[in-house]
Structure 1
Amino acid sequence: MKNVLIASYDMEVGGVERSLASMLEAFDYDRHAIDVMLCRHQGDFMDLLPDRIRLMGEIRAYSTFRKPIREIFTEGQWFLGLSRALSKLQADWTGRRKGLSEPGYLQMQLMWKYALPFLPRVEQSYDAAISYLWPHYFVADKVNAATKIAWIHTDYSMVEANPELDLAMWDKFHYIVAVSEACRQSFLSRYESLSSKLFVIENITSPAFVRSMAGGPAANPMDRDSRFKLLTVARLSHAKGIDQAVQALKLLRDRGFPDIAWYVVGYGGDEALIRDLIRGNGLEDSFILLGKQTNPYPYIRSCDLYVQPSRYEGKAVTVTEAKIIGKPILITNYSTAHSQVVDGYDGCIADMSIEGIADGIQRLYRDEALRAHLAGTCIHTDYSNGSELEKLYSLIGVRKEGA
């Protein structure tokens, strides 16, 4: 029996959190005892954690990473509050000086750099410790484990970061897992020296679970809408390109397509900006934010076309889920896009621009036969991949019997 720690932030609604829940559900508990450490015990996906894991108690110091800075000071955690404030000021200054579009990753690096001296260690030792999402620095510096594994879910070629800080942290891991080959290659474009540590393990998906959830409550606003319905499931953030989606829909309306409605399931820090864009373009009746939904699958079932307008991705869980439900898909040409769909076979890839997104939607709106072809390909493809866990077992040091 191997003792394994898996660390993440929380179980808020998101693709990474869904993939973590799927992996935990599929784990071999006859060979592994799993402890899960969450910085905060919060999120609508907490109920997806299987009964066979042991959820560690929330540690007060680590819970600060999902709290506003003002609240941290109010709680009397002065050093952690100062570390957050200092990292924000330094990242904002560096971002302005270098013209960075999104200095959030750099801020996160600095936050951990300044906070680490004030964070407690985990006393128990483990055979393996897995950092599934940030905090990678937590597992690197505050956990004793014979094997340390870090997961990467994003396109690192698009991330603005301090390479020296990252390399010092990555050196403390034995293995780094990318969720796709394209994600692996994008990471190596930034950190070529780490190639010997890098492996690919795809997000674990359960087609049976996705299809059963898609057959949930029949009534949602999309079912009452007779227009051609687009859907995106994503955080409201710069990376996901929802701002470009609003402008693409405005362009389509200007081209003479008033009967297209775009629905978005998700929430995030850019909501106010996106709502301003919607109002500014007069799209209140056709670009509709549905907010956080714990079960996005009925919404995917109800759409005519699933669209992922992202600026960058590692491997979008929602795209695979839309395939499982059998929907035609359009994604932008982010650097890992070709690991998600084969253009014209099980999805289409649009140029990453407002015009490119609009052109792709216009093409699929007009071409019902192409939409049917894409959907048919997806319906007849088996997306189950529980065997991917065998790769993780081999890194941990245990394989299932017969593997």
Structure 2
Amino acid sequence: MEIGGIERSLINMLESFDYGKYEVDLFICHHTGDFLKYIPSKVNVLPEMGEYTVFRKSISTCLQERQYSLSMVRILSKAWANIKSKRMKLTEGSGYIQMQLVLKYSIPLIAKLTKKYDVAISYAWPHDIVANNVDAKKKIAWVHTDYSKLEIDNKRDFRVWSKFDHIASVSENCRNAFLEKYPLLKKKTIVIENITSPEMIQTLANEKVENPLNQDSRFKVVTVARLSHAKGIDQAVLALKQLKDKGFDNIAWYVVGYGGEEQGIRNLIEKNNLGSSFILLGKKVNPYPYMKAADLYVQPSRYEGKAVTVTEAQILGKPVLITNYPTAKSQVNNGVDGIICELSVDGIADGVERFYDSKLLMERLASNCGKSNYFNGAKELGKLDTLFTAN
């Protein structure tokens, strides 16, 4: 339960369930992460099972804990994934392939959950655990990402998805991208959007935190994202450099988040002499005070399913700029509650400049966000209820 959009949307879903109607167990492979404390008290969090923790620990730690067989699976999967990724000429490396291989060869070695369920929901990819090690009358899996961009073994992935009765996608565009890869699964798919909780977001946004944005008089851009290739933070750095070169010295860009590309991004910031203007704030359990203090929220992603953070910024009445990733139109009504810019460094820079130069545009978009109702819990849970009872 580390900080992330999927984890945050899961918390929102768990908060929205009718616990007079359902008994809910939550299985977490490894009981770590800042979001553990936000799990509603009515949820029965199942005890941690040691074998399942290996997926989130270092191999050296697994060896120290005498998980020898599973550690060997991890080592061999990493080696084989590196070979496969080179053969497939993957741009993002071997990470996703490695995850698939680890699950494929680990599942037969670890114990199944003993309890029998009416419904089992697998909320985060890869879905092997629920597909193979949970006994349920009905199984539902979630699609949170743009499958046109995901570099995985699709044949292996299809076999796992096929074991589910229903497949829920967070947006129509996300569903369409998924079906381009797996058209045979069309009848199983449904769109169920991420559940948002405007009341909770507004409350958390007013929490007192040490916030450097409150003392910064510059035009403040904020991004909340994992520091990864998909989120395009490197593009944001280069876009700010371009703006500085054009004379826009009064812009500061703050990023809330952490991830594997942090050092590379820091090197890029230093290389472009942006140390005082492009500021990495690191991991924050509560990102909303930083969003609230922003003049503009930007999502510079290369691809998304449906970014929870964009909707959250809109809930806080912020003008929003997002790149034209394939599912962008399901996220923002262009020109009404946000602007979609070209997916490039030039596009991001031009978009920020457009907002910087137009107070009227900023006010109009913020006003439209303020008039919108972003609570969708009843509607989206109604769709889920339908799946529970469907034949």
TM class by shorter chain equals over 0.9
Q: Secondary structure at 1:115's aligned position in 2?
A: helix
Percent of residue pairs bearing the same amino acid type: 54
Q: In structure 1, what is the equivalent of residue 69 of structure 2? A: 79
The answer on 1:57 being equivalent to 2:53 is no
Counterpart among 36, 45, 48 of residue 26 in structure 2: 36
Q: Secondary structure at 2:23's aligned position in 1?
A: strand
Shift of 1:40: 0.9
Counterpart among 379, 386, 389 of residue 394 in structure 1: 386
Q: Secondary structure at 2:47's aligned position in 1?
A: coil
What is the letter of the counterpart of residue 118 of structure 1? L
Deviations 1:354-374 (A, max 9, x none): 111111111111111111111
What is the letter of the counterpart of residue 38 of structure 1? I
Output the CA distance in 2 between the equivalents of 1:227 and 1:33: 50
Q: In structure 1, what is the equivalent of residue 58 of structure 2? A: 68
Shift of 1:385: 0.4
What is the letter of the counterpart of residue 320 of structure 1? T
**Structure 1: where are the runs of 5+ without partners?**
1-10, 399-403
Counterpart among 3, 8, 15 of residue 18 in structure 1: 8
Shift of 1:66: 0.8
Aligned residues: 388
Q: In structure 1, what is the equivalent of residue 332 of structure 2? A: 341
Deviations 1:171-194 (A, max 9, x none): 110000001111101100111110
Counterpart among 186, 189, 201 of residue 180 in structure 2: 189
Output the CA distance in 2 between the equivalents of 1:316 and 1:254: 30
Whether the 8 Å CA contact 2:112–2:134 is kept in 1: the answer is yes
Output the CA distance in 1 between the equivalents of 2:320 and 2:78: 37
Shift of 1:218: 5.9
Whether the 8 Å CA contact 2:125–2:143 is kept in 1: the answer is no
Output the CA distance in 2 between the equivalents of 1:283 and 1:87: 39
Q: In structure 2, what is the equivalent of residue 89 of structure 1? A: 79
What is the letter of the counterpart of residue 214 of structure 1? A
Q: In structure 2, what is the equivalent of residue 244 of structure 1? A: 235
**Structure 2: where are the runs of 5+ without partners?**
none
Output the CA distance in 2 between the equivalents of 1:86 and 1:30: 47
Correspondence 1:355-366 to 2 at 5 A: 355-366=346-357
Write out the 4+ residue segments of structure 1 that deviate beyond 6 Å after TM superposition: none
Output the CA distance in 2 between the equivalents of 1:113 and 1:163: 13
Deviations 1:32-84 (A, max 9, x none): 10000001111111111011110000010111111112221222111111211
Output the CA distance in 1 between the equivalents of 2:306 and 2:224: 14
What is the letter of the counterpart of residue 189 of structure 2? L
Output the CA distance in 2 between the equivalents of 1:119 and 1:164: 23
Shift of 1:94: 2.0
Output the CA distance in 2 between the equivalents of 1:390 and 1:38: 25
Output the CA distance in 2 between the equivalents of 1:259 and 1:93: 47
Q: Secondary structure at 1:295's aligned position in 2?
A: coil
Q: In structure 1, what is the equivalent of residue 305 of structure 2? A: 314
Q: Secondary structure at 1:101's aligned position in 2?
A: coil
- Return the TM-score normalized by structure 2: 0.97
Shift of 1:332: 0.5
Pair 1:207–1:56, CA change in 2 (3 A): same
Counterpart among 130, 137, 142 of residue 133 in structure 2: 142
Q: In structure 2, what is the equivalent of residue 157 of structure 1? A: 148
What is the letter of the counterpart of residue 235 of structure 2? Q
Shift of 1:135: 4.3
Output the CA distance in 2 between the equivalents of 1:128 and 1:135: 18
Shift of 1:219: 4.4
Q: In structure 2, what is the equivalent of residue 202 of structure 1? A: 193
Counterpart among 370, 378, 383 of residue 361 in structure 2: 370
Shift of 1:96: 2.3
The answer on 1:213 being equivalent to 2:204 is yes
Output the CA distance in 2 between the equivalents of 1:116 and 1:219: 44
Correspondence 1:208-357 to 2 at 5 A: 208-217=199-208, 219-357=210-348
The answer on 1:120 being equivalent to 2:84 is no
Q: In structure 2, what is the equivalent of residue 45 of structure 1? A: 35
Q: In structure 2, what is the equivalent of residue 3 of structure 1? A: none
- Return the TM-score normalized by structure 1: 0.94
Shift of 1:99: 2.1
What is the letter of the counterpart of residue 279 of structure 1? E
What is the letter of the counterpart of residue 81 of structure 2? A
Output the CA distance in 1 between the equivalents of 2:77 and 2:261: 20
